[in-house]
Amino acid sequence: MSEGNEIIVNLCPTGMVPRRAKVPAVPITPEEIAADVRRCFEAGASMVHLHARDDDEEPTWRGDRFADICSAVADAAPEIVLVVTTSGRNWSEVEKRAASLDVAGRAKPEMASLTLGSMNFASGPSINSPETIAALATAMRERGIVPELETFDVGMIDYANYLISRGILQPPYYFNVLLGSRGTAAVSAANAAAALAALPDGATWAFAGIGRAQVAANTLATSLGGHVRVGLEDNPYYDWHDRSAESTNARLVERAVRIARDVGREPATPGEARRIIGLPAVSRASSAGPALDGPSRAAA
């Protein structure tokens, strides 16, 4: 578990589902995503979980689009921890799902999502066979990329422990425990306790809440000493009572930081996030100047 009182705010700005017709603030182009990430970094985010969209808003697996997005983000917020998706919601081929892992150079991702089982979302299934999970884990290890382990119930955490026992997963371990999706574990004290009890020793963990569950999951994790994931990918509305479309990624980050400070915690800088997770320090030179991986966000 993490030491100290810092909280990692992991931003998921786009996902694969939100469209501007219903979520006007979702960023689409590399430039839009990068500008949004910069705003969220300044608000307190230290990691960003990136999906790729084409200009028509449709999700894409193409490595060149991921390279454009990662490069734009590395220019706009060179300090931030770069994470890419290997989601299988729209395609199942390992080669397509692993294309995001081949971004190279200063924009190389430090982490990549690895969902540890199949499940149903409200909009359709996500299929993750044992063979696919092992293949993606191996591809990440070969490229020096740390898995962002996505789990939606205790069974997926148990499976992570099995993969650890087989040497398929190796430390450091960072778990996103996603709660509240229809068909998987709800946000509850019992589910939270079961998930935390199942985690391997030394794991860093965060709670994410799907839709109306986001604030509850974030607040629970913050109170228990964990970390949080926020963003329009998981929650298109700021207020679920009136389903306001006035949400933005920056507003969601600001709320998570406000909740953290209300219980005496401060948002981690990217350098602190790397230390907590166990990632190596990163220095990304850019046309705007050197990247900083130190303790002060204000200095960035």
pLDDT per residue over 153-164, tens digit each?
999 999 999 999
Mean pLDDT over 249-255 rounds to 96
Evaluate if residue 80 carries a pLDDT over 50.
yes
Q: Domain spanning 6-277 has what CATH number?
A: 3.20.20.70
Per-residue model confidence (pLDDT) at position 245: 63
Domain boundaries defined on the chain? 6-277
Mean pLDDT over 21-47 rounds to 96
Whole-number percent of the chain with pLDDT over 70? 93
Per-residue model confidence (pLDDT) at position 297: 59
What tokens were used for 249? 């990624």
Among 89-98, 161-170, 235-244, the range scoring the smallest mean pLDDT is 235-244
Per-residue model confidence (pLDDT) at position 175: 98
Cα–Cα dist 290/287, whole Å: 8
Stronger pLDDT, 119 or 43, i.e. the higher one? 43
Cα–Cα dist 18/247, whole Å: 12
Evaluate if residue 295 carries a pLDDT over 60.
no
DSSP string spanning 39-77? HHHHHT--EEEE--B-TTS-B---HHHHHHHHHHHHHH-
Among 32-41, 43-52, 150-159, 244-253, the range scoring the smallest mean pLDDT is 244-253
Mean pLDDT over 32-41 rounds to 98
| Contact yes or no for 13/232 (Cβ under 8 A) | yes
Evaluate if residue 17 carries a pLDDT over 60.
yes
| Contact yes or no for 194/207 (Cβ under 8 A) | no
Evaluate if residue 181 carries a pLDDT over 50.
yes
Q: At what angle do helices 130-143 and 154-165 cross, to 10 degrees?
A: 60
Whole-number percent of the chain with pLDDT over 90? 79
